[in-house]
């Protein structure tokens, strides 16, 4: 993990990406299991180029969904997979942040129903979850997505963070891809998460970078010394924080 000092003032809110951050999979890559081999290769390549910042997200988003045309039952299954593949310590890390009185939310370029499923599993309120809405025909066939969503294009997460009320600041953002790294400067601290996939361009931009598989590694650069002391005094969080501190020193 890249070294980063503890913040001097507490963050009022902490926002997470979903795919390859809270969950160890990329939802759109999982959707390809219902597609032909050529579509799988095309979509995987488009996703990687978008996450690396080499293709505009808006172009990739439409092309991927038109190519995959996911049905309702496929999207529902992605939600189940998201929860099955939560990264280590996801629930405990969110619970620790909420114990400290922080607002915790999810901003994702993924599809809204599966992202809501993850948030519910982590105890995050629906009104603190934003992702891209998808529509289906009465028979469950794909009928399009919300083309007006800022999360389907680059800098969309920046737009949403800027629109948050003053009570949400100072704020931090945690994510694995370039659309997450775009929040640096708008977020008071951007923490790159490489516990699932290490992306060097993201590491280069991050205020701190975590490579341990556990999302608990983000706690030391998110919490003031006083907040860390509060967690250590709470038996259910003490071990979590001690593990994350050890990873920071030796990871």
221-251 pLDDT, tens digit per residue, is 999 999 999 999 999 898 898 777 655 443 4
Read off φ and ψ for residue 19, nearest 5 degrees: -65, 130
Would residue 121 count as lying in a domain? Answer: yes
Active site residue 139: no
Could you tell me if residue 7 is inside a domain? Answer: no
Q: What is the mean pLDDT of the chain?
A: 90
207 is catalytic: no
Give the pLDDT score at 202. Answer: 95
Q: Is residue 4 part of a domain?
A: no
Residue 67 lies in a domain: yes
Q: What is the dihedral of CA 82, 84, 85, 90, to 10 degrees?
A: 90
Task: Give residue 1's pLDDT.
Answer: 46
187 lies in some domain: yes
Instruction: Convert the pLDDT of each residue in 91-116 to its tens digit.
Output: 999 999 999 999 999 999 999 999 99
| CB-based contact 2:189 (threshold 8 Å) | no
Predicted pLDDT at 43: 74
Asked whether residue 18 is assigned to any structural domain, the reply reads yes
Q: Which domain holds residue 221?
A: 13-250
Give me the CATH number covering residue 28.
3.40.50.1000
Burial class for 42, CB neighbours closer than 10 Å (0-12, 13-18, 19+): middle
The reply to whether 38 falls in a domain is yes
pLDDT at 246: 53
Measuring CA to CA, which residue among 86, 22, 29 is closest to residue 60?
29
Please state, for a pLDDT cut of 70, what percent of the chain lies above it: 95
pLDDT at 25 over 50: yes
Buried b (16+ CB within 10 A) or exposed e, 182-201: bbbebbbbbbbbbbbbebee
pLDDT > 70? residue 158: yes
Catalytic residue among 19, 89, 207, 212: 19
Q: Average pLDDT in the 17-34 region?
A: 90
Report yes or no on 100 lying in a domain: yes
Q: What is the DSSP annotation of 162-181?
A: HTS-GGG-SEEEEESSHHHH
What pLDDT is attached to residue 70?
92
Q: Is the pLDDT of residue 45 over 90?
A: no
Q: What is the pLDDT of residues 53-96, one digit of tens each?
A: 777 777 788 888 888 889 999 999 999 999 999 999 999 999 99
Domain count, the chain: 1
| Helix, strand, coil tally for the chain in percent (to 5) | 50, 15, 35
Report the distance separating Cα 192 and Cα 4, nearest Å. 12
Q: How confident is the model at residue 39 (pLDDT cuts 50, 70, 90)?
A: confident
């Amino acid at each position: 993990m890249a070294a980063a000092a503890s913040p001097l003032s507490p963050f009022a809110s902490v926002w997470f990406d979903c795919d390859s951050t809270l969950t160890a999979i990329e939802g759109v890559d999982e959707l390809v299991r219902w597609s032909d081999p050529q579509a799988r290769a095309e979509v995987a390549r488009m996703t990687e180029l978008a996450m690396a910042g080499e293709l505009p997200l808006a172009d990739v988003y439409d092309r991927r969904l038109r190519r995959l045309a996911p049905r309702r039952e496929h999207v529902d299954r992605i939600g189940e997979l998201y929860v099955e593949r939560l990264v280590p310590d996801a629930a405990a890390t969110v619970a620790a942040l909420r114990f400290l009185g922080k607002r915790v939310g999810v901003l994702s370029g993924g599809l809204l129903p599966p992202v809501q499923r993850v948030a519910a599993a982590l105890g995050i309120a629906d009104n603190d979850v934003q992702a891209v809405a998808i529509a289906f025909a009465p028979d469950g066939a794909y009928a399009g997505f919300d083309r007006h969503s800022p999360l389907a294009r680059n800098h969309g997460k920046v737009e949403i963070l800027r629109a948050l009320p003053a009570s949400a600041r100072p704020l931090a953002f945690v994510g694995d891809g370039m659309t997450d790294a775009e929040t640096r400067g708008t977020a008071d601290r951007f923490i790159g998460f490489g516990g699932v996939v290490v992306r060097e361009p993201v590491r280069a931009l991050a205020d701190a970078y975590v490579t341990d598989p556990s999302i608990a590694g983000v706690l030391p650069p998110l919490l003031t010394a006083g907040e860390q002391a509060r967690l250590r005094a709470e038996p259910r969080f003490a071990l979590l924080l001690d593990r994350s501190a050890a990873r920071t020193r030796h990871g």
